[in-house]
Every structure is written in C-alpha cells, then in structure tokens.
Structure 1
C-alpha cells in the first residue's frame, strides 16, 4: 500500500510524464497527453519537469520505468496497460520493480462489475467464466503492492506503484477520455497540499540584433548571481511581427525573477542590444 505523497512541509517534487505507444512515434496518432498534462498541472500551480516518449518495446519501457522509480518525484505513464499482445506496461512495471504480477482484488471486482454492466446494456447473459471475459481480468493484473487508480469512464482501473528510490508512478490508459480524469483524480487525491505552493513566473524581453553566443556570458552570470532562477533564450528567424530576434528571459519563483530580470536588462543595455516588448507569463 502506497503512502500519501504530500504533506505541508515536503518540497514540491519533480513531475514527469512517460507516453507509451508505437502509434505516437509512427505518427498514426498525434500525442495529446503532453499539452493536457501541462494544463492540468498549471491549473493546480504545478509544472512538468520532464517528458519521455517510448514505443511498444519492453526493454525501452522497462528502462524508462526503472529510471522513474529510482528518483524521488511523481510520474504519469500513459498507455500500454491493456491486455493485448502490444500492451507491455504492466509487465515492464513489474520487471522494473522486481516484483511479481498479481490480480488485484479490487481491480478484479471492478472489471467484473464492468462485465455485468456491458451484459445488461446489450441484453445478454452475464458470463464471467467465458474465455474472453476471463482474459479481461488480465487488465487487473498489477505489480504486487500496487494501488488502483479509479477510471470513471468504464471502471477498468489504472494503478500506481512506488519504487525504492522514492519515485511514484501512476499508470493510466492511453485513451485521453480515460487518462485525463484519472490524472486529475491522482493530483487532487495525492498531491493537493502542493497546489499553488510555488508562484512560477517567466519574465522576458524581445532582443534585436544580437547573437545567442555573444549573450551567453551574460546569461551565465545572471544564473550564477540569482539562485533558483533559470535563464532561457528562444531565437526566431522569421517571426511575423519581430522578424529575426531573441526572446531572452528568466523564470522561477516570482520574488526571485524581478531582480534577476532587472539585472538581465541592465546587462543588455550595457551590451548595446536594442530591446523591444517585455512579457510576463
């Protein structure tokens, strides 16, 4: 049984996303999970630290999950938890954790309940012993010690596990209509005391007529002198309004970004770089 993720004093963790599926890498389907995850986190005052795409390859999935379990933080893994031959995520989670796969008793009851619902909807007899229904129970076979993640769409649950390194991974289906409310539930149930603990702000300015390489020493100095602030540089060569330019800025806690941004603009003025509009996000 996993313990609660958050408390009133623990620091806000890194949050990662793993997206599984050959169909994403081949282009048969466009990924929608990345943008939605950023949206769901942003609504709660959280940010995404990293994202990783892997195909339906057991070696690659296991390696990605082993990394996720090995470091503190929380991760959402979308895709590959079904029971068809191209679904490998449940097996890879067990391998990464070095645990056995077992039929979760609550997942079993939820899957049986779904079978009853489908039989009633189709005016058919409820036959849990039928071969295809027995096979459906495999969707409730999770690594030993897993907790379930409820699925409001069709009751077939996901699951979550915590590794020895402190990483907790929530395993969700690949279907957005299921995965997104399940992700929201996991955040609201297990991560709520982290909500809006940080006020993350980006401050930037449009810089004309400068090269990134010439601005690098200034960027390095700002990061060195302002702890907890990151400097970013987004060059553009064909912007419809600004043409060739660099959007140069800082991001971090609101209280730390203003002095860093002021120092950045002072450095740009000393450099003689023409500056345009300023932006705050």
Structure 2
C-alpha cells in the first residue's frame, strides 16, 4: 500500500476524526458546453456508497488555467478527499498539471515511474506497428509530458493504457476518459482510503405524501431535526408531471436507530396534519 505519511489524510486518520469530506472536481470546456456529458458524478457516488462513504460536493470548471489554479488553491487548503478528472493530457487544452503546480507553488518534473510506464506503453504500441519504441522521437517526447507532475506527486496506476495519473496533498488527478478514470477512482479508494470504508453507519428513509402543502409540514421537519440531532430531514415536492398526482417525498437520513424513530414520528405527524400516504382515487 502506498504510504500516506506527511499528508493531511494521514494526520486526520491519526487524530481519529470523522470521515473526511469527499469532493469531485470535473474539468473541461467540453462538459460546460454540452459537447460531452459528465460520467464521473454518478459513478463516484456509487463507488463511495459501496464503501460506506458519500460525496459532499462537486464542482465543474473550465480548461482555463487561471480558473483551475484558483479552484485548486482553495481546494488544497482543505483536508478533503478530492477526485479531479480531466485536463492531464499533453495538448494545449490540458492545463490541470500546470495549474496544480501553480496552486501548490512547486515546479513540474518528469516523474521517473511515470516515464517508465509511458515508455512501456510506447513499446507496446510499437510492437503492434503503431509508432516507435525510441523515446527520443518527437512523438514520444511529447507523450512523456503526460508524466510531468508537480514535485512531490505520486502516481495513480492506469489499468487501461499504463499512462498514470497523479496524487498530491489528498487530491487524485486522473484523465477525463471514464474507461481510465473509474478504475483509477476504485484503486484510489481501496488503496489510499480503505481506513475510511464503512466508518459511518447511515440510512435513508422516505415516503410519499399527498394532499399536504410543504408550508404545513415544514415546522414539523424543523422540530424533528431538533429532537433528533444529527438527523437530516428532506422534502422533495413533485407537481404531478405526466398525469400523476402532486405529492411530496418526505424523508430522513442519518444514524439508523435515530432515523428509524424519526421517520415513524414523521409519518404520524403527516397524518395528524391532514396528509395522506395514498394517492387520491
């Protein structure tokens, strides 16, 4: 397992704190313009939930280096676990590696392990008649730029084509391609953050309510959170699209025992306020 010494994550783990916040940063003009649809948000949620963790925030930003630098400078100041997808290639629109170095105030250097892996990838391609294994050629020198990382970075293995991502200061940087990024997310969660798996016991209960306006149930939701500290109540109205009946999905989430008590009380309160748990006939 890769060492976590001298990282914010290690300090948090040593202190026995609660599970760190997890965030996603997706980088790319093509996402913001709609030319590509984001594939990382839903997948990361699923990967985290399978390990008893959860996503607290997501941010989508452009390929502009100043925007990325500003975003990462703020992000590096936290102890959050952060997955950054996109912009680590070697074309002019790939500026994430440069922005990460600027945000940290360090230089970019060719990582020796990344150079070895990229060389192996070039040799594999040459064996198939695609390009040359000679790393001095202009094409392969350009490919080596994908192994130029901020000083102090560690590699993230890429099971798809060997060209690695990088990890530094609790931030994991990986390509925008889902076929590469998602195995890298899995590897990172299971290698770097296994100590946080299933540390929190959380459940979510919900039910549908008909014939009750949100304004009438809101005071009960507020009181519920006071009675059961740590339990979060939620209300998701539905106007009855596609011929259905207008309704509200009410629910609670948090620690299992308290959530179970809170949802029973909430169902009873809904009925006492005139709401129905069944749609009108």
Query: What secondary structure does 1:221 align onto?
Result: helix
| Aligned counterpart, 1:184 | 186
Q: Take 1:79 and 1:254, find their aligned partners in 2: how far apart are those partners?
A: 37
Output the TM-score relative to the length of structure 1. 0.90
TM-score by length of 2: 0.90
Give the C-alpha shift of residue 203 in structure 1.
0.8
The Cα RMSD (Å) is: 2.0
What is aligned with 1:265? 267
Q: Does 1:56 align with 2:63?
A: yes
- If each structure's strand is expressed as a fraction of its own residues, which one has the higher value? 1
Which structure 2 residues correspond to residues 14-93 of structure 1 after superposition, within 5 A?
A: 14-93=21-100
- Going from structure 1 to structure 2, the CA distance change for 1:244 and 1:56 (only over 3 Å counts) comes to same
Q: How many residues align?
A: 272
Task: Please point out which of 228, 237, 250 is paired with 1:226.
Answer: 228
Any conservation in 1 of the 2:27–2:63 contact (CA below 8 Å)?
yes
| CA offset digits 1:177-226 (Å, max 9, x no partner) | 10000110000101112212223211112111222233222211111221
Q: CA separation of 1:194/1:128 partners in 2, compared to 1, >3 Å: closer, same or farther? A: same
Q: Distance in 1 between matches of 2:274 and 2:130?
A: 77
The residue that corresponds to 1:157 in the other structure is 164
Q: Deviations over 1:81-113 (max 9, x none)?
A: 001000111111111112211111111111111
Question: Helix, strand or coil for the counterpart of 1:115?
Answer: helix
CA distance in structure 1 between the partners assigned to 2:85 and 2:179 by the alignment = 12
Q: CA deviation at 1:77?
A: 0.6
Which residues in structure 2 correspond to 1:113-152 (within 5 Å)?
113-122=120-129, 125-152=132-159
Q: What secondary structure sits across from 1:91 in the alignment?
A: helix
1:16 Cα offset (Å): 0.7
Taking a change above 3 Å as real, the CA distance of residues 271 and 10 of structure 1, as seen in their structure-2 partners, is same
Unmatched tracts of structure 2, length 5 or more = none
Mapped partners of 2:241, 2:203: distance in 1: 24
